[in-house]
Structure 1
Amino acid sequence: MKAEAVHQRRLLDLQELDTTLAQMNHRARTLPEIAELERLDARIAELRNALVVVETELGDLGREQRKAEADVDQVRTRAERDSRRLEAGQVSSPKELEGLQSEIASLQRRQGELEEIVLDVMERRETAEARRAELAKDLATAEQDRAVTEERRSTEISAIRADAATARDRRTRVAGEIPDDLLALYTKLRDQYGGVAAAPLRYGRCEGCKLALSTAELGEIRAALSDEVVRCENCRRILIRTTESGL
């Protein structure tokens, strides 16, 4: 293929812009804020699930406490009724008196047991409420951190997009200065060789594959006309001759 030397050298400008655009795309995909957002999303989901669990626990404890308090009230009411009977002398025989006194004592023991249950439930409820408050605080912090991180990510993405738009405009202008057949070859090689299609020959080494060319290869390039498009024998990329080629 033939192409004027100036057009061949323009490929280096195009390659630089393409490499810059690829780097911008990579940076946009790998911003540290993206990983941080994923971590925060997982943390927020974990905290929300934990809050659902503790809210359910608090609901159960509330019902348990109300039932225990109702049981206490029921036993207390019965004990008070029996005590009033005893104080009023509404007992007809010693046996009935003994039975009533025994029932009052049993009710008092039962009331004590139920009050212990109420206290235990209240303590567990207090612990659960403290846990809920802690989780709610942690969730609010995580959500705030996410909002800040998302804003930072959006700012970074906006800056990258602006720079990329400028680079694409420059690329369009540069590509317009390159003959169609040379541009087509460059595009084909970019697809084949990981985005790098043209590289300078610098002091006898291809900057595309970083390998030094043999003396025979350099001799062939030295003998080639300036408008001859030469390729690296190692990586097959387009080799651009410059003042630093060492020919």
Structure 2
Amino acid sequence: MTAPLTLDAAGRGILAELAGVDERTRLLTARLQALPETAEVERLEAADEERQRLARRARGDERGRSATLWRLTRDAANMRARRRRDIEGLRANPDTERRRDLRHDLAVAERRLAELTDEIAREQRTLEAFGASDGPGHEGPVEDPALVQARAEQQAVVRDLTGQITDLEHRSRELREALPPQILALYRDGERDHGVGAAPLLGSSCGACFIDLDAVTLRRFAAAPADEVLTCPECGVLLLRDTAR
């Protein structure tokens, strides 16, 4: 029969500290991966991207309005030239029928010029309003101050958590080196198979798999010497027990 593994008080303290350090590392790592600060940054980034998309579309609309204004201005210049030719023709041409045609064409030119003048004024007002809302100089989109602040807060939290995790990982390596090789091998097996290397015995259940242990096993555990290394019969994880008795 194989003799049970044993661990003295100092070794049990190292194992308990290691389990606590690694559990703290897992908790901080899980928090780092699901930071509310990160979720807030992502929300604000999405809102900022939508705002910039709308601004890009507005700038495209502005270019379209500028082209429209140029076209209207050109058409108005053509109508003024047409009106001027009609007036000159009326002054120079005594033919009654020709004068009637010129007066008709002049009326059409005058009406169209009035319409173009109104359209030009509307386009100019729209462009002025757009320029006022877009800010002086049209310098392009400015990042949302709330997003800048949220990113700074996220980075501060990430730095803090990363620093804590780095320190804990360093301490974990130190503690692992202090454990006997057989105990460390069992600890690593538990990490590989169940995510934890050692877990407390919680009354009648294992703190790793949370299965209630049978009465025979519990009596054996109760009678085991303080230095005997116990493992869960269900999952094989090292069990930490309160041996202060």
Q: Is the 8 A contact 1:24 1:160 kept in 2?
A: yes
Q: CA deviation at 1:20?
A: 0.7
Q: CA deviation at 1:197?
A: 2.4
Per the alignment, in what secondary structure is the counterpart of residue 226 of structure 2?
Answer: coil
1:16 corresponds in structure 2 to 20
Work out the CA distance in 1 between the residues paired with 2:85 and 2:156. 75
Partners in 2 of 1:111 and 1:4 — Cα distance? 102
Tell me which residue corresponds to 1:204.
Answer: 204
For residue 172 of structure 1, what is the aligned residue in structure 2? 173
**Aligned with residue 78 of structure 1, among 72, 77, 82:** 82
1:17 Cα deviation after fit: 0.2
Q: Deviations over 1:72-103 (max 9, x none)?
A: 122113213432454xx423232233222222
Deviation at 1:120, TM superposition (A): 4.1
Which secondary structure does the structure 2 equivalent of 1:239 belong to? strand
User: Residue type matched to 2:159 in 1?
Assistant: S
Distance 2:179 2:6 in 1: 9
Q: Tell me which amino acid in the other structure corresponds to 2:237.
A: R
**Where does residue 93 of structure 2 map in the other structure?**
91
Structure 1 residue 69: deviation in Å? 1.1
State how far apart, in whole Å, the 1-side matches of 2:112 and 2:202 are.
Answer: 96
Q: 1 CA distance for matches of 2:139 and 2:98?
A: 60
User: Which residue of 107, 113, 125 maps to 2:115?
Assistant: 113
Question: Structure 2 vs 1, CA of residues 61 and 19 (structure 1 numbering), >3 Å: closer, same or farther?
Answer: same
Counterpart amino acid of residue 32 in structure 1 = P
Partner Cα distance (2:187, 2:75) in 1:
87
Q: Which structure 1 residue ranges, 5 or more long, are not aligned?
A: none
Q: Counterparts of 1:152-167 in structure 2 under 5 Å?
A: 152-167=153-168
Is residue 47–residue 138 contact of structure 1 (8 Å, CA) maintained in 2?
A: no
Distance in 2, Cα, partners of 1:58 & 1:106? 31
Q: Is the 8 A contact 1:203 1:244 kept in 2?
A: no
User: Do the aligned residues in 2 keep the contact of 1:57 with 1:128 (CA within 8 Å)?
Assistant: no
Cα RMSD (Å): 2.8
In structure 2, C-alpha distance between the alignment counterparts of 1:200 and 1:78, rounded to whole Å: 98
Q: Which amino acid aligns with 1:97?
A: R
Q: CA deviation at 1:14?
A: 0.5
Task: Quickly say closer, same or farther: Cα 1:199–1:138, change in 2 above 3 A.
Answer: farther
Counterpart in the other structure of 1:241: 241
Identity %: 23
1:4 is aligned to 2:7: yes
CA distance in 1 between counterparts of 2:218 and 2:105 reads: 114
TM-score by length of 1: 0.83
Which deviates further from its counterpart, 184-193 or 45-54? 45-54
Q: CA deviation at 1:185?
A: 0.9
For 2:105, the aligned partner's letter is E
* Native 8 Å contact 2:206 2:213 kept in 1: yes
Q: Paired residue for 1:100?
A: 102
**Superposed, which structure 2 residues align to 1:211-222 within 5 Å?**
211-222=211-222
Q: Of residues 11, 25, 35 in structure 1, which corresponds to 2:39?
A: 35
Once the two structures are superposed, what CA deviation does each residue of 1:102-122 show, in whole Å capped at 9, x if it has no partner? 221121112123223323433
Relative contact order: is structure 1 or structure 2 higher (C-alpha 8 Å, sep ≥ 6)?
1
Show the 5 A alignment for 1:107-146.
107-126=109-128, 128-129=130-131, 132-133=134-135, 139-140=141-142, 142=144, 144-146=145-147
